Amino acid sequence: MGSEVIDSELKVKSGSENKPQVDGVCGFFASSESVSFRPITTADLDEVMVIERTSFRFPWSSGFFLQELQVACARSILAEIDGQIVGYVLFWLLPGAIDIHNIAVHVDYRRRGIARLLLNKVLAEARNQSAVRVMLEVRRSNWQAQKLYQSLGFFATGVRKGYYSDDGEDAVAMTLDLPSEA
């Protein structure tokens, strides 16, 4: 496979509003200046799959990734630091909304703000598209992700019983309502 851009409509550039922070106890924290963003290409799939397999007990297959990324409304954002892929998010642009389908960060780069930066890029895209809400589902057992989503303003809207077909775990449905520009 070449390096075909799968979702070329999304143009994401890193900002420079924050300087990188270093904390003597916790180490490197990512800022939008130290992380570059771009869509996932087919050439990225092997590295993306390494992150996927180490992030989830029941990872998506590479075929499912390709299928997902070829959906007309699908978009992706890949995060890189010094040329290394450190995370990604996949989402759908729907009429008036964004639905986040998958987000993961490389195990060596977790707890450094990468997921927050990726989610902030999705929220910026939602605002650019005049979306009024962003939705996602998260495993009921994944309280760390739920805390991150809550810190960004997401709230639980319900529980989807047996949502995950791989093991029957429930999902917590979460939504972020975006202010409309009047």
Catalytic residue among 33, 149, 163, 181: 149
Question: What is the torsional sign of CA 156, 141, 94, 112?
Answer: positive
Sheet of strand 133-139, all strands in order from the earlier edge strand to the far edge: 36-38, 74-81, 84-94, 97-105, 133-139, 171-177, 155-160
DSSP for 131-142, written as a single string? -SEEEEEEETT-
Residue 111 sits at φ, ψ, to 5 deg, of 65, 30
Active site residue 137: yes
* Strand partners for 99: 92, 135
Check if the beta carbon of residue 136 is closer than 8 Å to that of residue 100.
yes
Please tell me whether residue 157 adopts helix, strand or coil conformation.
strand
Closest CA to 50 of 60, 40, 41, 42: 60
Catalytic residue among 137, 163, 169, 181: 137
Name the region of 72 (left: φ>0; alpha: ψ -120 to 50; beta: rest): alpha
Active site residue 149: yes
Q: Give catalytic residue positions.
A: 137, 149
